[in-house]
Amino acid sequence: MTPRPTDMLDEILAFVLAAACTGCDRIGAALCPSCRRALRAAPLTVRTPAGQSVRAALEFTGVTARCVRALKGSGQTRLAAPLGLALSAVIDVAGLDGIVPIPTSRAAFRTRGYRVPELLLRAAGASPLRMLRHVGRHRDQRGAGVEERARNVRGSMVARPARAARVLLMDDVVTTGATLDEGCRVLREAGVEVVGVIALAATPRTVRFPADSAATHL
């Protein structure tokens, strides 16, 4: 298979800068072929505390976890392309008005200079609808349990004036799903129909549906 120009550019930059692969630390490859394969979508369905079905493109482990952390914490925005390609596998906007991402807090945007969910959606070929925004201050969710996360996100978002009637809700990583439950609640109270919920990745601690579940896949 002929290398794509973007892949070739990645490898040239990696060689010049002696970069290490984000997924495995291999020297000389910005993202090695093995790690690119590890980012191919392997969709799974998980459940939020409120019972909402979420379709995730990847499990948040191994290469995926390292690449998402690098995108969110190290400014490696080039990783949005392969991650966005994986995300596209769970996107279906047929008959919908678009996709609403979970909003990025002001503090996170100031730190990064970009909104991760929106960046991923654009890399997946979709246009984000900014219908939610953060309000107030809410502490970091890392390390919090299911009930604590639910309390922490309650009232953390408000809906902008409705510009769509039927949407998908999207987040980058699902840990417990409490944030997605709050996003669904706020949108529905604003008169918006949340037809489905999607995510780039779901952590191992997120509740999976059994293999014989009747959960609806997007």
Domains of the chain: 1-38 (no CATH), 40-208 (3.40.50)
Look up the pTM and report it.
0.81
- pLDDT tens series, the chain, 218 aa: 444 555 655 655 554 455 789 999 988 778 999 999 999 999 999 999 999 999 999 999 999 999 999 999 999 999 999 999 999 999 999 999 999 999 998 888 889 999 999 999 999 999 999 999 888 665 555 555 556 555 666 667 888 877 789 999 999 999 999 999 999 999 999 999 999 999 999 998 776 654 434 333 33
Instruction: List the beta strands (DSSP E) in 13-64.
Output: 44-47, 53-59
Give tens-digit pLDDT for 31-51.
999 999 999 999 999 999 999
Give the long-range contacts of residues 65-72, CB within 8 A, separation 24 or more: 65/201, 66/22, 66/23, 67/22, 67/23, 67/31, 67/35, 67/39, 68/172, 68/173, 68/200, 68/201, 70/22, 71/116, 71/119, 72/112, 72/116, 72/172
Q: Give the integer Cα–Cα distance in Å for 190 and 159.
A: 7
pLDDT, one tens digit per residue, over 162-204 is: 778 999 999 999 999 999 999 999 999 999 999 999 999 999 8
Integer Cα distance of 15 and 28 in angstroms:
5
